[in-house]
Amino acid sequence: MKGNEFHNMTDVELAEKLKELKSELFNLRFRHASGQLENPVSIRTCKRNIARVNTEIRARELKAKA
Protein backbone atom coordinates (compact mmCIF):
# COMPACT_ATOMS: atom_id res chain seq x y z
CA MET A 1 0.00 0.00 0.00
CA LYS A 2 1.03 3.57 -0.50
CA GLY A 3 1.37 6.10 2.29
CA ASN A 4 -1.56 8.16 1.09
CA GLU A 5 -3.84 5.14 1.48
CA PHE A 6 -2.96 5.03 5.18
CA HIS A 7 -3.46 8.78 5.42
CA ASN A 8 -7.14 8.34 4.51
CA MET A 9 -7.80 5.75 7.24
CA THR A 10 -9.28 6.51 10.64
CA ASP A 11 -7.34 5.89 13.86
CA VAL A 12 -9.27 2.69 14.55
CA GLU A 13 -8.62 1.40 11.03
CA LEU A 14 -4.91 2.19 11.39
CA ALA A 15 -4.69 0.27 14.67
CA GLU A 16 -6.48 -2.70 13.10
CA LYS A 17 -4.24 -2.58 10.03
CA LEU A 18 -1.13 -2.48 12.23
CA LYS A 19 -2.33 -5.54 14.12
CA GLU A 20 -3.04 -7.33 10.84
CA LEU A 21 0.36 -6.46 9.36
CA LYS A 22 2.23 -7.63 12.45
CA SER A 23 0.38 -10.93 12.31
CA GLU A 24 1.21 -11.24 8.61
CA LEU A 25 4.88 -10.53 9.31
CA PHE A 26 4.94 -13.25 11.94
CA ASN A 27 3.45 -15.73 9.49
CA LEU A 28 5.88 -14.70 6.75
CA ARG A 29 8.86 -15.16 9.08
CA PHE A 30 7.57 -18.54 10.16
CA ARG A 31 7.13 -19.69 6.55
CA HIS A 32 10.58 -18.34 5.65
CA ALA A 33 12.21 -20.27 8.50
CA SER A 34 10.50 -23.48 7.43
CA GLY A 35 11.50 -22.97 3.78
CA GLN A 36 7.96 -22.56 2.46
CA LEU A 37 8.14 -18.86 1.54
CA GLU A 38 8.17 -18.40 -2.23
CA ASN A 39 8.81 -14.65 -2.31
CA PRO A 40 11.20 -13.39 0.42
CA VAL A 41 10.67 -9.79 -0.74
CA SER A 42 7.21 -9.94 0.81
CA ILE A 43 8.86 -9.75 4.26
CA ARG A 44 10.47 -6.42 3.33
CA THR A 45 7.21 -5.12 1.88
CA CYS A 46 5.34 -6.04 5.06
CA LYS A 47 7.95 -4.33 7.25
CA ARG A 48 7.70 -1.17 5.16
CA ASN A 49 3.92 -1.14 5.44
CA ILE A 50 4.24 -1.47 9.23
CA ALA A 51 6.62 1.49 9.21
CA ARG A 52 4.18 3.52 7.10
CA VAL A 53 1.34 2.85 9.54
CA ASN A 54 3.53 3.71 12.53
CA THR A 55 4.64 6.92 10.82
CA GLU A 56 1.05 7.97 10.17
CA ILE A 57 0.04 7.20 13.76
CA ARG A 58 2.98 9.24 15.10
CA ALA A 59 2.24 12.15 12.75
CA ARG A 60 -1.33 12.26 14.04
CA GLU A 61 -0.09 12.24 17.64
CA LEU A 62 2.22 15.18 16.95
CA LYS A 63 -0.49 17.05 15.08
CA ALA A 64 -2.89 16.59 18.00
CA LYS A 65 -0.34 18.02 20.46
CA ALA A 66 0.31 21.12 18.35
CA distances from 48 to 3, 13, 44, 53, 64 (A): 10, 18, 6, 9, 24
Residue-number span of the structural domain to which 16 is assigned = 3-65
H or E segment to which residue 35 belongs: none
Q: What angle in degrees, to the nearest 10, is found between the helix axes of 11-33 and 41-65?
A: 150
CA distances from 32 to 3, 8, 26, 47 (A): 26, 32, 10, 14
pTM for the structure as a whole: 0.91
Indicate the number of domains in the chain: 1
Mind listing the pLDDT tens digit of every residue in the chain (66 residues)? Answer: 777 888 899 999 999 999 999 999 999 999 999 999 999 999 999 999 999 999 999 999 999 988
CATH value at residue 51? 1.10.287.310
